[in-house]
Structure 1
Amino acid sequence: MRETRNAQVSIFEHYSNHEYGIRLRKLSEVLDRHPEILDLVATDLIDASVSAVGRTGLSAESVLRCLLLKQQRGFSYEQLAFHLSDSETYRTFTRLPAHLSPSRSCLQSTIRSIKPQILERAHQLLTKSLLDTGMASMDKLRIDSTVVASHIAPPSDSQLLNDGVRVISRLLAKSKTETGVKVRFTDKRKAAKSLAFRIFNAKKATKDELYPKMLKIARLALKQADRGRQRVIEGAAASASCQKWLDALAHYRNLTSRVIEQAERRVISGEQVPSAEKIVSLFEPHTDIIVKGFRDIQYGHKINLSSEVNGFITALTIEEGNPCDKTLFLPVLDYHRSVLGKLPRSVVADGGYASQVNVAAGRAMGLKHVVFHKPVGVSLTAMGVKSKTFNALRHFRAGIEGNISELKRAFGATKAKWKGHDGFKAFVWASALSYNLLRLARLAPD
């Protein structure tokens, strides 16, 4: 059974005198002062129904510290496994027993066992503690949004069709191993791959000739998936592996069907398909199409966040779709009032949030100043502030750009690399939690 904390901390702990070693020592001290975070994470990692016998493996404390180290240093699981076996400083920080050097697969399975809801709750607990102890201030608050990309290649209809054919064919080829029933089918993976390559490099006139052939292969893959599913249902014995195969086939069959419909509407009929109806990845189907202003199209999820004077992220939400920033202003204030129990004295947001309704609602909540970086449709008089106050808050708002940059650059939030929608959310919350903890460690006295 996994333990919450290591039974005995080594008396031979050693941190390097390098900048990173000093930073990790301070971060370790911060974690020791916030045991509520570990207790919360432990509820997700420890199954109370498991008998307390056999090997204990990594403690919940070590798993949490490995997660924070991974996000802070931007390691892959393979790199993390190497550094934990090689670096005395990293082993000291993660409090690994002398005999234990976790493998890549062990680290991946244990770290990914922490649910996004638990990481979000841990972030809330830490933020409340920062406000209660005065480390974070609600004197001024700044709000902005950004996009965290999904771990996908730039989408194209031809590649999505090829992915559908490839995955369905692979599942059918493995039917004997997974279900005990061999499914016979015509393998069109090579032809689909060749067509996708030719479409990608062709001019428009040639693409119009090749797409019908690609769509024909994709429809054949759907028919073969339906026949294969029926064959397995009739001939296979019920088992967990068989059900897993059937679920995977149904999942990718439905996604491929949507891709075919999308390609027919876009390429064959020349129709403009709304972003909300598009699918841009078979492997990360939750991905949204985001366009901020006049900038390039991005594929991922919009996140809405706020930070205070010391740069701590006080609120963060992962949005679905591409909501207008105007609609994201009041939820941040509601979160501070209902979850954190405190409202800021002054709040400033980007011009995209500007509306008279938001000004009135913020003032009704008791805020002294509600300001937008650019008075888009809302004058200074309507905001109820003088030019001097407006300029001071506008300069303060610029600081959130640096907070977002650090979150992305130093904690990996440019692109979420964990699979699935829950994986995306967990990655973002792990980055935000690591960001706040490390900032707290930096502000701690020597």
Structure 2
Amino acid sequence: MFDVSDAFFQRILRDGHRVQILAHRAENRHRNGPVMADSRMKLSVMRADNAQITFADLEFLQQGIRLDPLLEKISDFLDDHNKLVELIRRDLERGLKEPETGRPGLTPDQVLRSLILMRVKNWDYRELRERINDGYTMRKFTAFYSEPVPQHNAFNQAFNRLSPATVEKLNDAIVEAAVDDGLEDGKKLRADTTVVETDIHWPTDATLLWDTVRVLTRLIGRLRDIVPKDIPRFANRKRAARKRMQKLHRMTASQREGQQVRTYSQLQAITQEVLANARRTLKATAHSRGKTLTDTLTIEELRKDLTDYCPLGDRVVDQARRRVLDREQVPASEKLYSIFEPHTDLIKRGKINKPIEFGHKVFLAESAQGLVTQYRVLDGNPSDEDHVKSSLKNHRKTFGSAPEVFATDRGFDSTDNQKICRKAGVGCVSIPQRGGQKTAERQAFEKSPDFKKAQCFRAGIEGRISVLFRGRGMKRCLARGKERFRVFIGVAVLANNLMKIAELLIRRENKKKPRARAA
């Protein structure tokens, strides 16, 4: 038995008061056997919140490991706000019939801390796993301590359980905590929009048709490997499709006049043939079963992929026919830019270096202390002026009043928005007029010191976007699907806010320290 009053034991508890909820479950290890470092941990959560502390954990904590100052402040902040961990727990348990049975997996605390660390350091899953496994400080921050670290795919599976709504609640709770701690007063607000790219290649009708042919052919081939007798025979048209796709890309302007329509017609015919084969395969394998349970599950997944890609292939064929053969101007809202990320939008912002971008427009609002208090993933390419009213409403909900200074670029300007800001009680509305002849009164206002100072403040959000892109990896989303895209944006904002809170806490502590006397 340990004496809880012992000074050594007390020091361990002070070093991390969450030690009692670590995932070092001695009883479960004895029952289920040890978890090997190369095993795939499942998505079940820990079964005992007050599990016994192991001797390995005591030895680990006795080393006196110190975290990086920023990570230490983030860790302390998370310790003081346990409700954040409970939000993660709900997502990990969602859909599980018996979440407390099975081999123990990543705990909610480990999932949250690992996710934050991944975005703070801008690592991928493999590097995240290796850094945690090899580093004592990373083990301490992520609450793994002496426990074996699972493979990278376990982190991926756990992170994929998180919903956009949960990440949004995490951000709201963190901003609320910062306000309660007196780190932010909400007197200033600056807003802007940016574009985060989806992970697609530059779309053309030819490449989209080629993508459809090669993906459907690959899926049918995998099904044939499992149940060869059930798959009807058909010719592999990948080579013919690739040849015509490359021919279209290599055509000169003069060659396009006489050959483009014919080559596109051939490529579309090949794609339609492959689509017909895919649908015959779906019909033929409706009741197919594999020799093993794994084969049966694989068949179901492959059939699901075929079911998803066939309608997208139909859209690609129809789009190419309308654009190339019928010379129709297809609206942007009806276009498909990728069969892998069908939610992708085409964004035109008038940027010289990037006239066209593929991804999603994201609205960001930032406070004076660098906290991103609002973020939204937008559908399509809405005008910036549409977000002023909602941003002020959300700001009032968070801080209880309108900001004294509201600064944006000229894209947010409109007569209605100026009235909305004044009606909401904004003291200084720093939105430059967009176009038109300025009145003498307007010219004088935009030359006033308050307006210029607010515009200097507004420029700071450009730097924040740059930090999110370069430091938090938000420039391009590699995750699949609209839901994962929203989670990706939310986690990047979450990491940014925790970093800023840590900096503000360190700054506050330094102010309280007495200055050393001069010699």
Residue in structure 2 matched with residue 32 of structure 1 by the alignment: 79
Q: Alignment partner for residue 219 of structure 1, among 263, 272, 286?
A: 272
Indicate the SS of the match to 1:428.
helix
Residue in structure 2 matched with residue 45 of structure 1 by the alignment: 92
Shift of 1:65: 0.9
Shift of 1:218: 0.8
Q: Alignment partner for residue 11 of structure 1, among 36, 56, 61?
A: 61
Shift of 1:34: 2.2
Change in Cα spacing, 1:376 to 1:395, as seen in structure 2 (3 Å) is farther
106-115 or 352-361: which moved more?
Answer: 106-115
Residue in structure 1 matched with residue 376 of structure 2 by the alignment: 317
Do residues 433 (structure 1) and 494 (structure 2) align? yes
Deviations 1:140-192, CA, capped at 9 Å, x for gaps: 11111001110111112111111101111122223346678323222112222
Change in Cα spacing, 1:182 to 1:340, as seen in structure 2 (3 Å) is farther
Q: Alignment partner for residue 70 of structure 2, among 17, 23, 47?
A: 23
Change in Cα spacing, 1:291 to 1:178, as seen in structure 2 (3 Å) is farther
Q: Alignment partner for residue 185 of structure 2, among 137, 140, 150?
A: 137
TM-score, structure 2 normalization: 0.79
Deviations 1:292-333, CA, capped at 9 Å, x for gaps: 124421110000111111111011110000001111221211
Indicate the SS of the match to 1:283.
coil
Shift of 1:435: 0.5
AA at the equivalent of 2:288: A
Q: Tell me the distance in 1 between the aligned counterparts of 2:183 and 2:217.
A: 56
AA at the equivalent of 1:190: R
Change in Cα spacing, 1:6 to 1:98, as seen in structure 2 (3 Å) is farther
Residue in structure 2 matched with residue 292 of structure 1 by the alignment: 349
Shift of 1:400: 0.7
AA at the equivalent of 1:365: A
Residue in structure 1 matched with residue 504 of structure 2 by the alignment: 443
78-87 or 182-191: which moved more?
Answer: 182-191
Change in Cα spacing, 1:35 to 1:379, as seen in structure 2 (3 Å) is farther
Q: Is the 8 A contact 2:45 2:99 kept in 1?
A: no
AA at the equivalent of 1:219: Q
Shift of 1:88: 1.5
125-134 or 135-144: which moved more?
Answer: 125-134
Do residues 270 (structure 1) and 319 (structure 2) align? no
Q: Tell me the distance in 1 between the aligned counterparts of 2:87 and 2:70.
A: 24
Alignment of 1:263-412 (within 5 A): 263-295=320-352, 296-338=355-397, 341-374=400-433, 376-377=435-436, 381=441, 385=445, 387-412=448-473
Q: Tell me the distance in 2 between the aligned counterparts of 1:246 and 1:331.
A: 43
Residue in structure 1 matched with residue 197 of structure 2 by the alignment: 149
5+ unaligned residues in a row in structure 2: which ranges?
A: 1-43, 291-295, 510-519
330-339 or 209-218: which moved more?
Answer: 330-339
Residue in structure 1 matched with residue 234 of structure 2 by the alignment: 185
Q: Is the 8 A contact 1:6 1:61 kept in 2?
A: no
Q: Tell me the distance in 2 between the aligned counterparts of 1:270 and 1:29.
A: 62
Change in Cα spacing, 1:305 to 1:369, as seen in structure 2 (3 Å) is same
Change in Cα spacing, 1:97 to 1:16, as seen in structure 2 (3 Å) is closer
Q: Tell me the distance in 2 between the aligned counterparts of 1:132 and 1:65.
A: 22
Q: Tell me the distance in 1 between the aligned counterparts of 2:327 and 2:99.
A: 61
Change in Cα spacing, 1:13 to 1:397, as seen in structure 2 (3 Å) is farther
49-58 or 246-255: which moved more?
Answer: 49-58
Indicate the SS of the match to 1:437.
helix
Change in Cα spacing, 1:294 to 1:15, as seen in structure 2 (3 Å) is same
AA at the equivalent of 1:275: A
Q: How many correspondences in the alignment? A: 442
197-206 or 392-401: which moved more?
Answer: 197-206
Shift of 1:38: 1.5
Shift of 1:351: 0.4
Q: Tell me the distance in 2 between the aligned counterparts of 1:318 and 1:125.
A: 19
Q: Tell me the distance in 2 between the aligned counterparts of 1:340 and 1:284.
A: 37
Q: Is the 8 A contact 1:373 1:397 kept in 2?
A: no
Residue in structure 2 matched with residue 232 of structure 1 by the alignment: 285
AA at the equivalent of 2:89: A
Indicate the SS of the match to 1:444.
helix
Q: Tell me the distance in 2 between the aligned counterparts of 1:380 and 1:43.
A: 58
Q: Is the 8 A contact 1:199 1:210 kept in 2?
A: yes
Shift of 1:442: 1.3
Q: Is the 8 A contact 2:185 2:399 kept in 1?
A: no
Change in Cα spacing, 1:53 to 1:212, as seen in structure 2 (3 Å) is closer
Indicate the SS of the match to 2:183.
coil
Q: Tell me the distance in 1 between the aligned counterparts of 2:79 and 2:504.
A: 16
Alignment of 1:154-169 (within 5 A): 154-169=202-217
Residue in structure 1 matched with residue 306 of structure 2 by the alignment: 249
167-176 or 99-108: which moved more?
Answer: 167-176
224-233 or 78-87: which moved more?
Answer: 224-233
Q: Tell me the distance in 2 between the aligned counterparts of 1:6 and 1:119.
A: 26
Do residues 120 (structure 1) and 120 (structure 2) align? no
384-393 or 120-129: which moved more?
Answer: 384-393
AA at the equivalent of 1:444: L
Change in Cα spacing, 1:374 to 1:224, as seen in structure 2 (3 Å) is same
TM-score, structure 1 normalization: 0.91
Indicate the SS of the match to 1:143.
strand
Q: Tell me the distance in 2 between the aligned counterparts of 1:309 and 1:379.
A: 31
Of structures 1 and 2, the larger Rg is shown by 2
Shift of 1:91: 1.2
Which structure ranks higher in relative contact order (CA pairs < 8 Å, sequence separation ≥ 6)? 1
Indicate the SS of the match to 1:174.
helix
Q: Tell me the distance in 2 between the aligned counterparts of 1:5 and 1:149.
A: 40
Indicate the SS of the match to 2:396.
helix
Change in Cα spacing, 1:339 to 1:26, as seen in structure 2 (3 Å) is closer
Q: How many percent of aligned residue pairs carry the same amino acid?
A: 29
282-291 or 121-130: which moved more?
Answer: 121-130
Residue in structure 2 matched with residue 414 of structure 1 by the alignment: 475
Q: Is the 8 A contact 1:14 1:92 kept in 2?
A: no
Q: Tell me the distance in 1 between the aligned counterparts of 2:492 and 2:404.
A: 27
Indicate the SS of the match to 1:50.
coil
Q: Alignment partner for residue 244 of structure 2, among 190, 195, 199?
A: 195
